[in-house]
Structures are given as structure tokens and as C-alpha cells.
Amino acid sequence: MALLMDGIRAWPGDGMAVVGSSLGGFYATHVAQAMRCKAVLLNPAVHPARDLAKYVGEQSTWHDPSQRFVFEPEFVDELRALDGGPLFDPRKCLAIIAKGDEVLDWREMVGRYPGAQLKLLDGSDHALSDFDQHIDEVFAFLGLA
């Protein structure tokens, strides 16, 4: 995160936006808070330090279980340090949240983003497999439509 923030520190917050899904949504929230920019959050992770702490140790990659990596305890501490508290300006956030998310609790996601523009989907899934149905709303929110 320090490397990313160093790379974008001079960017004008009012002229940029971030988009993130799942853990990327958590990171996007942190960047948006720091840069005071817009954020689109797709099924964003809300408590990754809590949720990922149980994976400390050797793990296999999801795409190729033969590939191994070590998830270090300090990674959990780093995630905890990025938790930014209340949103500086909820109107700059659009959260698309699926009640059908099989990985994250939609109620926690909704609770994390009070005052944000929320699109709560009755079904869908963690990957937002129906994302193409929402892209126009994302573009409109970002002023790209």
C-alpha cells in the first residue's frame, strides 16, 4: 500500500476514482479515504484482518493448488492498520453488494458504507457474475457515461 500511495500521492483526488472487488474493495476504500476520491466497491471485504487471520501459514493458490505461498501473521496486522474507520464522504462511494455472496456477509458490507450509494442485489454471487448488468450505473456514477 505504501508503494501504491507513493505512486499516486500527487494525483488530484477530484479527478480520479478507484474500483475494487472483494479484498480489492477494502483496498479501494483505503485509497479513496486517503485521496478523497470516488470509489466503486464490488462486494467489498469489510473485515479482512479478522477473516484472513485463520489462513496464517502455508496455503495453495486458488487457480493452481500445486503453487504454494506463505501467508504471514504480519499481513493480518497490515490489513488491520488499513482499516480507515468512517467514510470521509459517503456520497463519493458506490457499493454494489450481492445478497447471494457466498464468501462475504452482505449485511456487514451494507453496515460498513452508511450514506453511500448502495445497489443491493437480491441474488448474484461474490464474483458478481452479472456485472455487465451494472456497468452503466458504474460509468454514470464515475461520470464516464
Please compute, for residue 14, the number of CA atoms within 13 A of its CA located in the half-sphere on the CB side: 0
Question: Quick one: pLDDT at residue 41?
Answer: 98
Question: Quick one: pLDDT at residue 45?
Answer: 98
Percent residues over pLDDT 70 in the chain: 100
Domain that holds residue 108: 17-141
Picking from 144, 141, 132, 145, the residue whose alpha carbon sits closest to that of residue 41 is 141
Quick: pLDDT tens for 100-143: 999 999 999 999 999 999 999 999 999 999 999 999 999 999 99
Percent residues over pLDDT 90 in the chain: 95
pLDDT at residue 58 greater than cutoff 90: yes
Please compute, for residue 82, the number of CA atoms within 13 A of its CA located in the half-sphere on the CB side: 25
pLDDT at residue 145 greater than cutoff 80: no
CATH for 115: 3.40.50.1820
Question: Quick one: pLDDT at residue 90?
Answer: 96
Sign of CA dihedral 62, 104, 122, 94: negative
Contacts of residue 46, defined as CB under 8 A and 6 or more positions apart, other chains included, come to: 26, 104, 105, 108, 109, 111, 112
Is position 3 within any domain? no
Is position 71 within any domain? yes
Is position 35 within any domain? yes
Question: Quick one: pLDDT at residue 13?
Answer: 85
Question: In the β-sheet with 93-98, what is the strand arrangement from edge to edge?
Answer: 17-21, 38-42, 93-98, 117-121
Picking from 111, 87, 109, the residue whose alpha carbon sits closest to that of residue 97 is 109
Question: Quick one: pLDDT at residue 62?
Answer: 84
Question: Quick one: pLDDT at residue 103?
Answer: 95
Picking from 40, 45, 47, 48, the residue whose alpha carbon sits closest to that of residue 118 is 40
pLDDT at residue 76 greater than cutoff 80: yes
Question: Quick one: pLDDT at residue 29?
Answer: 97
Domain count, the chain: 1
Is position 10 within any domain? no
Is position 101 within any domain? yes
Is position 4 within any domain? no
Is position 9 within any domain? no
Is position 122 within any domain? yes
Picking from 50, 25, 13, the residue whose alpha carbon sits closest to that of residue 113 is 25
